[in-house]
Each structure stands twice: as structure tokens, then as C-alpha cells.
Amino acid sequence: MAASLGGPAMIFAALGDETRLRLVVLLCGGGALSISQLTLGTDITRQAVTKHLRVLAQAGLVRDTKLGRERLWAFEPDRLAEARRSLEMIGQQWDQALGQLQAFVES
């Protein structure tokens, strides 16, 4: 099971940072956004946002495309679906373990 959680572990690690989670929320709003748009109204530097976006990209949660002189960043929902499936698998395993414990206690 540990091998099957390698990919989702990267996703959870990437989402474990408040700034990166905020960036994902912004990008989930639809459409690709530039670094300037992602930093608008915040005190986070463009350089810091770029570093966070790279972590999210390594986890497969965002992708970038070059448009002229700037890069536009977009959310990749498939990777989040993979993490959701992993959580569902863990939940099913917990349900099975609790069922076995209940059967043992009741016997």
C-alpha cells in the first residue's frame, strides 16, 4: 500500500502549505492566471509565488503555459481526484478494521 500512496503523498505535502492551498483555490476559480494576477492584493512576492507554483507543478496540481512574455498557470483537477481516491481507500480500510474490531468485541 505504501507504494500506491507515493503520488498522493506529494499532493498532500504540496497542499499542506497555506500559501499553496490558497493558490490552488484561486486557480480552481477557472481559467489560467499570471503571477501578477496571483499576487494581486497580497504581500507575497512574485518570487515566492513562483517557488510555490513550482512545488504545485512537481506534484502535478498545476501546469503553466507561456503566452508572450508571461506564464499562465492553471489547475490540474485529475491529480486532486487521485488524492481523493487514496483518501477513500484509506477510509474503506478504516471501516473494515472497525468492523473487525466490533465483531471481535461482540463475540
* pTM for the structure as a whole: 0.75
Domains of the chain: 3-106 (1.10.10.10)
> pLDDT, tens digit, for every residue of 35-60?
999 999 889 999 999 999 999 999 99
- Distance CA(35)–CA(37), nearest Å, equals 5
- Res. 101 pLDDT band, cuts 50 70 90: confident
Which strands form 70-75's sheet, in the order they lie side by side? Answer: 33-34, 70-75, 62-67
